Copies of this chain bind each other. A is one copy, B any other.
């Protein structure tokens, strides 16, 4: 289907395939400091598209962007006991600055609940200031001993939302809205990535949360990747940072807070959700380049026709690039396949003589001739079809590789190349340790009908378990 690949096949060595794609699609490089990452222009263009799609959804929920400092006093982290225990092993600490030893060391933010909590306490006076809905796009640092580009890096980019509410109900409802209208909507409708939506078991919750909601995607090797999480923090951080408000009745009340994030891990998730042996495959709604127009030969009429084609697509709001490079046609095609551009328009002298060009789908390899006059109207529909097909294919993969089992032993077996689903009652407690001993973990809890439980103790739940990134 695709041209001869220059990548390690997925079936031969999946981690190696992943590394090959990241390198050969020019997505990222390792930085000079252990675990850090250089995001190259093509990888960053994909991240910018993710940002813009998520940012629009976040703003629609009423949240506003702000920016809080990179450096946090070490003492802040100690204010919430579980939080500091969760993050201490991963902290990077600045001890010297401006040529002097600092009186109090500062940590590089691993996440910003603490510093934002401090300012929420300052800004919130009365119920009129609630809900306070904030988001920031920022870099964070969590020291990684076994880094992998995009998946686990010592520094990564993300958005972190932080909100404060008058009641628990309002906090829960808002968190659910983020989980569903921001993350799940983005994953389904832009990334074409179906996930299991559920809540984390207590052992896997965010440090300091009372409830964590997750979107768990299945990668092409059957492992799980947590694509985005939304946390209800109850009053834990409000207590630690004195986030009080005066109620309509004039009482001083503690707020309820939430936090939620999605990061450059999503780029890793994209690669492993849709990639194949020919490389990356970017869903059209996400793709920074939706169509590449490739000239078959470097001839004036061909180049001019390619420019006209590109212009007509641009006018139809298609994100298009022209490749009339000098290298061999086959080599250039392979490179664009590795980069996962959804559609390729091949412009050659023989086709042109008949007034046509050839459109090639990156996912199926299917070729179709198109008249120059109708191309610009045909392409947007083809992109939408491809988008839908990618989702359907990922959805089948998810379903086909999720196995209903009835024991922890069978779950461990099933998790060799997919997810297992079984009664949470069979797992909670001892079972979870048995799974963990085999590097399998509980990814999320659901009700039997697949809906989201309110809490892990509502009874009659199932869990999805898998190996994970």
Write the residues of chain A forming the contact surface with B, with a CB cutoff of 8 angstroms. Answer: 29, 31-33, 36-41, 44-45, 47-48, 64-73, 76, 88-99, 105-106, 108, 115, 118-119, 122, 134, 138-139, 141, 143-145, 154-155, 157
Alpha-carbon gap, A144 to B99, bound state (A): 11
Contact of A89 among B41, B94, B98 (CB under 8 A): B98
Among the listed B33, B108, B138, which residue makes an inter-chain contact with A73, where contact means beta carbons less than 8 Å apart?
Answer: B33
* Docked pose: A31 CA to B157 CA in angstroms: 21
Partner of A95, one of B37, B93, B122: B93
Check A71–B38 contact: CB distance below 8 A. Answer: no
- How far apart are the CA atoms of A32 and B79 in the complex, in Å? 15
Q: Are the CB atoms of B95 and A99 closer together than 8 Å?
A: no
30 contacts between A and B (CB under 8 A): A29-B119, A31-B68, A32-B72, A32-B118, A33-B69, A33-B71, A36-B69, A37-B69, A39-B67, A44-B64, A44-B65, A44-B66, A44-B67, A47-B67, A69-B155, A70-B108, A70-B139, A71-B155, A88-B99, A91-B97, A92-B96, A92-B97, A93-B94, A93-B97, A94-B108, A95-B95, A96-B105, A97-B154, A108-B108, A139-B139
Contact between A41 and B134, CB atoms less than 8 A apart:
yes
Task: Give every chain B residue within 8 A of A31 (Cβ-Cβ).
Answer: 68-69, 71, 115
CA distance A141 to B102 in the complex (A): 15
List, in ascending order, chain B residues with CB within 8 A of A68's CB.
Answer: 31, 38
Q: Which residues of B contact A38 (CB under 8 A)?
A: 66-69, 119
* Residue from A88, A94, A105, A115 with most neighbouring chain B CB atoms (10 Å): A94
Known: A44-B66, A92-B97, A98-B143. 10 other contacts (CB 8 A): A32-B115, A33-B71, A36-B69, A48-B65, A67-B157, A91-B99, A92-B96, A93-B96, A95-B96, A98-B144
Contact with A76, one of B32, B67, B93, B143 (Cβ below 8 angstroms): B32
CB distance from A268 to the nearest CB of B (A): 15
Question: B36 and A71: CB pair below 8 A?
Answer: yes
Would A90 and B96 count as touching, CB distance under 8 A? no
A205 CB to nearest B CB, Å: 22
A214 to chain B, nearest CB (A): 25
Chain B residues whose C-beta falls within 8 Å of the C-beta of A157 in the assembled complex: 67
> Quick check: B64 and A141 within 8 Å, CB to CB?
no
- The residue on B at minimum CB distance from A132 is B41
Asked if B94 and A92 sit within 8 Å, CB to CB, the answer is yes
Tell me which residues across on chain B come within 8 A of A47, comparing CB atoms.
67
Complex contact A98–B90 (CB within 8 A):
yes
Q: Which residue of B lies closest to A128 (CB)?
A: B326
Query: A32 and B73: CB pair below 8 A?
Result: yes
Q: What is the minimal beta-carbon distance from A443 to any residue of chain B, in angstroms?
A: 26
CB nearest to A136 among chain B residues: B44
Q: Nearest-CB distance from A391 to chain B (Å)?
A: 28
Are B32 and A70 in contact, with the CB atoms below 8 A? no
Inter-chain contacts of A29 with B (CB < 8 A): 119, 122
Tell me the complex Cα distance, A121–B339, Å.
23
Query: In the complex, which residues of chain B have a beta carbon less than 8 angstroms from the beta carbon of A143?
Result: 97-99
| Interface contact B66-A41, CB-CB below 8 Å | yes
- Tell me which residues across on chain B come within 8 A of A89, comparing CB atoms: 98-99
Inter-chain CA distance A40–B69, complex, in Å, is 11
Closest A-B pairs by Cβ, 4 of them: A98-B143, A36-B69, A41-B64, A31-B69
Bound state CA distance, A108 and B37, in angstroms?
14
**A57 CA to B377 CA in the complex, in Å?**
30
Pick the contact of A66: B39, B64, B65, B90 (CB < 8 A): B39
Output the residue of A76, A105, A143 with the most chain B CB within 10 A: A143
A127: min CB distance to chain B, Å: 12
A90 to B99, CA, bound (A): 7
Contacts of A144 in B (CB 8 A): 98
Provide the bound-state CA to CA distance between A142 and B129, in Å.
34
Residues of B close to A141: CB separation below 8 A: 70-71
A320 and B106 CA atoms in complex are apart in Å by 41
Point out the residues of chain B lying under 8 angstroms from A105, CB to CB: 96
In angstroms, Cα B29 to Cα A119, docked, is 9
CB distance from A316 to the nearest CB of B (A): 20
B residues within 8 A CB of A36? Answer: 69-71
